[in-house]
A and B are shown apart, each in its own frame.
Chain A
C-alpha cells in the first residue's frame, strides 16, 4: 500500500476508504469478472448518500478499483509499521517547535509512586505512640529525607525542575500550530494529493501527541512546584537510583524495564522442632517482583522447611490455595505478608508440611539439614527477647 502511494497513480477515495486501480493483467481481469462492480457515485452529487456497507469494488469512467485500507489507518498504524521513521518525524517536529530543550522532566514511574507512597508507609514505624494517621506524600518524603543522605546534584536538579517557565513557553509555541486533522479528499485523486493530505495529518497527529505529553508533564510537575525543594530532591533521587531500604522494607529496580523487586527483611527468628529444640534462622529478604504474578520468594541464599533447597531466589511454599495476585499496593503487601507469615508461623512440627523437617527421624535421608541452626534454650538472644520463637503455639 505504501508503495502505491509513492507511485504516480490515481486512486479513488470513497467514504474515507482507499480504492486502488486493478492491474492490467489478463488473469486479474478474468478474476475480476466475478466481482460485482458498482458504479462510483460521489457523496456530493445528487443521490449520493453514504452507504452503511462499503462496496468491495467500484468503477469510475470504465476504470476498475478495489477496496484497500481506510485512510485513517495510514495515520494510526504508521508508528507501528515504521517506528524509526515515525520517531524521526517526531524529533524533527520537536526541533521545529523547540520542544527539546529543558523539557526532559522527571519520569514519574507509576510503579515507583505506588511503592513509595502506598506500600512503604505500611511497613514504616514512626517514633513514639502519637495518634495513628496515614502519612501524606510530603510527610513520607520527609521521613525518607531524615534517614537518607541525598547527594547535592539532586537538590540542584530539583531547583531546575521547579522552574515551570520553559514548559509553559513550549506549550504556547504549540498553540500556533494546526492540530486539527482533515478528512481525506473524496473521489479520484492523485497519489501526490493523498500523500500531501497524509503528511499534513500525520504532522497534526504528532503535534497533538506532543501537546498532550507536555500538558501531562505540566500537570505532574505543578503540584510539586509548590512543595519544598528537599522533598522533590528525594523523589528525583529515588527515580534515579530506583532503590531504597528503610525499616527492613526495600525495593530495587530490575535490570530490564520499569519493574521492581520489593522486599521485606524478616530479621533473625527462631523455630522449635517436635522435641522443643530451638533453631536460629538468620535474617533474609522475602521479595516479590512487580512483573506478572506476585509470588513471594527468598532472595538470599537460605534454607527453611518451606524452601525446596539450600539456595537463593526460591519460591516459598504457600500451598495450593494461594491466590493469583498482580501488582497493586494491597496485593504486594498481602503477598509479602503471606511469605513472611509462612516462614515465621507456618511450620508445625506435628504436621507434614513444606519440604523438610527441622528434626530428623532416625534413618531418614535429609536433603537439607538444620543442625547448624540449633541453639540452646538459654541462648542470650532468646533470653534477652531480641529473637522471638515464632512457633511456640504449635
Chain B
C-alpha cells in the first residue's frame, strides 16, 4: 500500500486583500505633499479626481499642512492635477503602486502632482 503524498501547489493562489489607500497631493516639484489615508472600502468605485477633491476640501489641516495647501492652490490656478502624466478620471486603483510600511503592512500609494505647465515659446 503506497502512502498518499500531497503535492504542494506550484504557484500558491494569491489572496487579493483589500488595501488601504495613501493619497499624496504634491505641489509642483516639491518633495512632500498633503497625505490622506483611506480605509479599504471607502474609496473603491470613485475616481481619483473625486478623492483628491475630498482630500483638498478637508478643514482640519494643521498650520504646516495649510501652507502646503496654499502651494497646491497656487499651482492649480491655471494648472491641474496629474498622476503619472494622466488626468484623474480613472479609479485610484489603476494609478496606485503597492508599497509597504516599515512594519511590513502593505498599502496602495498614489502620488498626485498639482502642476502649472509652462507652455513654452512660439515655434520659430
Contacts and interface: CB of A to CB of B under 8 A. Distances in A.
Interface of A: 121-126, 128-129, 131-134, 247, 264, 305-306, 317-320, 322, 333, 336-342, 344-348, 352-355, 385, 388-393
Interface stretch (B7-15, B49-57, B110-118): B110-118
B32 A126 contact: yes
A318 B61 CA distance: 34
A317 B31 CA distance: 25
B82 A393 contact: yes
Contacts of A126: 31-32
B116 A341 contact: yes
Interface residues of B, number: 34
Interface string B12-32: 000000000010100011111
Nearest to A357: B123
B31 A353 contact: no
B62 interface: yes
Q: Which 6 A-B pairs have the closest CB atoms?
A: A342-B118, A352-B123, A125-B31, A345-B117, A133-B64, A317-B121
A391 B85 contact: yes
B64 A123 contact: no
16 contacts: A122-B30, A123-B31, A131-B62, A264-B29, A317-B121, A319-B118, A322-B118, A341-B117, A344-B117, A345-B82, A345-B117, A346-B118, A352-B123, A353-B123, A393-B86, A393-B87
Contacts, number: 109
A346 B34 contact: no
Given A122-B30, A341-B28, A392 B119 contact: no
A345 B118 contact: yes
Given A389-B84, A389-B85, A132 B65 contact: yes
A293 B84 CA distance: 32
B120 interface: yes
B87 A134 contact: no
B87 A129 contact: no
Contacts of B84: 385, 388-389, 392
A388 B102 contact: no
Interface string B66-102: 0110000000000000101111000000000100011
A363 B112 CA distance: 40
Contact of B120 (A133, A347, A385, A393): A347
A345 to B, nearest CB: 4
B85 A392 contact: yes
B104 interface: no
A330 B31 CA distance: 15
B30 A123 contact: yes
Given A128-B102, A392-B86, A337 B120 contact: no
B119 A352 contact: no
Contact of A353 (B32, B86, B119): B119
B67 to A, nearest CB: 7
A342 B123 CA distance: 14
A388 B84 CA distance: 6
Given A131-B65, A337-B28, 17 more contacts: A124-B31, A128-B102, A129-B22, A129-B37, A264-B29, A317-B120, A319-B120, A333-B28, A336-B29, A337-B29, A339-B118, A342-B118, A342-B120, A345-B115, A346-B117, A352-B122, A354-B120
Contact of B121 (A129, A131, A354): A354
A123 B82 contact: no
Contacts of A122: 30-31
A347 B23 CA distance: 27
A319 B117 CA distance: 12
A385 B34 CA distance: 22
A388 B123 CA distance: 26
Nearest to B24: A129
Nearest to A249: B31
Contacts of B32: 124-126, 132
B124 interface: yes
A390 B85 CA distance: 4
